Structure 1
Amino acid sequence: MRGIAWLLVHACYRVRRRRTGLIPAQGPALLVANHVSFLDAVLVALASPRPVRFVMYYRIFQAPLLSWFFKALGAIPIAGAKEDAAIHEAAFARIAAALRAGELVCIFPEGQLTKDGQMTPFRPGVLRILRETPVPVVPVAVRGAWGSIFTYCRDLRARTWPRRLWRRLEVVVGHTLPPTATLEEMQARVLGLRGAKL
């Protein structure tokens, strides 16, 4: 799976990974990252020295031709509580089980891809995860992906292939936060890592 992911990413981007040694070498942790492109999970997975379980929207998880890949990666499908309560609750149970088993779990707390390149407020689901299973929080930022082919950018200047493919981007890891961190603290840390480079 990592080989396929590596080929997919490097066919589109030139990626630099920074401070990945801050990801715990063992034990559970929750990675929180900004959500810029459809390849964010793959980018974070390749930056991590350990396997990562990703929490993803269930409709994407069920997409034809891709579901086998997401299942192979151990992704955890999630839905909104009002959309499908059963999938919603099952997701939190699976996240807790993975963390108790000492795994890394990554969530994109914005809950959706950015439509304008800016970060949207983190949703409280991440607090429920930490309340039920207190683990270290590792902030991660994807930098430079906005405007590439796998984002929602509609800027005419970014539509040319040379601008949308082979872009230079970075996956930056920050220092660990405690499980008592607030949404604002987590978002501020990720925003600081991302900086001005969208």
Structure 2
Amino acid sequence: MSKFLGYILTPVFYFFFTLSLLIFHPLQWISFRLFGYRAHKVVVDYLNFCLTYCQIFLGSSTTFINKQKLPQGRPVIFIANHQSMYDIPALIWFLRQYHVKFISKIELTKGIPSISYNLKHGGGANINRKDSKQAVSEIIKLGRRMKSNNWSTMIFAEGTRAKDGQMKPFQVGGIATLLKAVPDALIVPVAIENSWKIVQYGPFPLCAGLKLRWTVLSPIITEGLNPEEIALQAEKSIRISLNQMKN
């Protein structure tokens, strides 16, 4: 039934999703050029509000659970599993008070309305995966911006999307590099559920009638832990939340 409904509802979803990108692109340009980072961030936040709730056109629900009392005056490294591109708008919108930045492929900085502009000017790290020196340099620069501005970063530690929803082992590289620049950052895992199902049949039809969920988990006590151990702790917390613990 969800696939059948997808044939009907996917064009409606894509219409409003694309319309949001097109409307907010010039708004981003105006806000950034005339008023700077803070105005631009407000526009980006509301863009992602619209992108998040475009899911209603697929008949899907969005639930974001954050029972953690996280400090706003301290950099945070959020570590999440990754299931689809639809993971991202909700993370930006619901965690907007933490100024969450992303590590993105440099190829995404061109050709996508709104998204490419934000990647260029929003303060994240745009890396060339074929150039390890450039990638490390950009992540370190991001860490410095986190430290000086009390920003946060979201890392999808699997390194790629889990297209079937089953988590892959977490990689430590990005976490370790950021911690060199921001050693006192708070480490907070985030569990993402069911967004892989949106695209389980590909870009058309999208799956309808899903219960999408994002859950912010308890911060990791990092005292005495090296980056590898921190990554394992984050992975374990998310696996427990998703009932994907390995035997």
> Is TM > 0.5 for Structure 1 vs Structure 2?
yes
Q: Does 1:123 align with 2:171?
A: yes
Pairwise CA distance, 1:6: 1.1
Which of 88, 94, 101 in structure 1 is aligned with 2:135?
A: 88
Pairwise CA distance, 1:30: 0.4
Q: Distance in 1 between matches of 2:141 and 2:209?
A: 36
Tell me how large the CA RMSD over aligned residues is.
2.4
Where 1:56 maps in the other structure, the secondary structure is strand
Q: Distance in 2 between matches of 1:74 and 1:20?
A: 27
Pairwise CA distance, 1:173: 0.4
- Counterpart contact for 1:34–1:190, Cα < 8 Å: yes
Alignment deviations for residues 25-60 of structure 1 (CA, whole Å, 9 cap, x no partner): 321110001100112221211221512111122222
Pairwise CA distance, 1:115: 2.7
Q: Kindly report structure 1 stretches of 4+ aligned residues shifted beyond 4 Å.
A: none
Pairwise CA distance, 1:147: 1.1
Distance 1:171 1:118, change over 3 A: same
Pairwise CA distance, 1:131: 3.9
| 1:184 alignment partner in structure 2 | 232
- Counterpart contact for 1:53–1:106, Cα < 8 Å: yes
Aligned length: 187
Q: Does 1:8 align with 2:56?
A: no
- Counterpart contact for 2:83–2:161, Cα < 8 Å: yes
Q: Distance in 2 between matches of 1:190 and 1:98?
A: 27
Q: Distance in 2 between matches of 1:132 and 1:71?
A: 21
Pairwise CA distance, 1:61: 3.4
Distance 1:192 1:47, change over 3 A: farther
Q: Distance in 1 between matches of 2:240 and 2:107?
A: 31
Give the letter aligned to residue 112 of structure 1. Answer: T
Q: Does 1:70 align with 2:119?
A: yes
- Counterpart contact for 2:188–2:219, Cα < 8 Å: yes
Give the letter aligned to residue 190 of structure 2. Answer: V
Give the letter aligned to residue 163 of structure 2. Answer: K
The TM-score normalised by the length of structure 1 is 0.82
Q: Distance in 1 between matches of 2:143 and 2:107?
A: 21
Q: How does 1:1-198 map to 2 (within 5 A)?
A: 1-12=44-55, 13-50=60-97, 51-65=99-113, 66-80=115-129, 83-101=130-148, 102-125=150-173, 126-134=175-183, 135-149=185-199, 153-154=200-201, 161=206, 164-179=207-222, 180=225, 181-195=229-243
Q: Which moved more, 1:137-146 or 1:83-92?
A: 83-92
Identity of aligned residues (%): 19
Pairwise CA distance, 1:146: 2.0
Unaligned runs of 5+ in 2: 1-43
Where 2:85 maps in the other structure, the secondary structure is coil
The TM-score normalised by the length of structure 2 is 0.67
Q: Distance in 2 between matches of 1:129 and 1:193?
A: 25
* Greater RCO (Cα-Cα under 8 Å, separation 6 or more): 1
- Counterpart contact for 1:144–1:170, Cα < 8 Å: yes
Structure whose CA Rg is larger:
2
| 2:21 alignment partner in structure 1 | none
Q: Distance in 2 between matches of 1:54 and 1:124?
A: 16
Distance 1:23 1:36, change over 3 A: farther
Where 1:39 maps in the other structure, the secondary structure is helix
Higher helix share: 2
- Counterpart contact for 1:79–1:85, Cα < 8 Å: yes
Unaligned runs of 5+ in 1: none
Distance 1:69 1:129, change over 3 A: closer
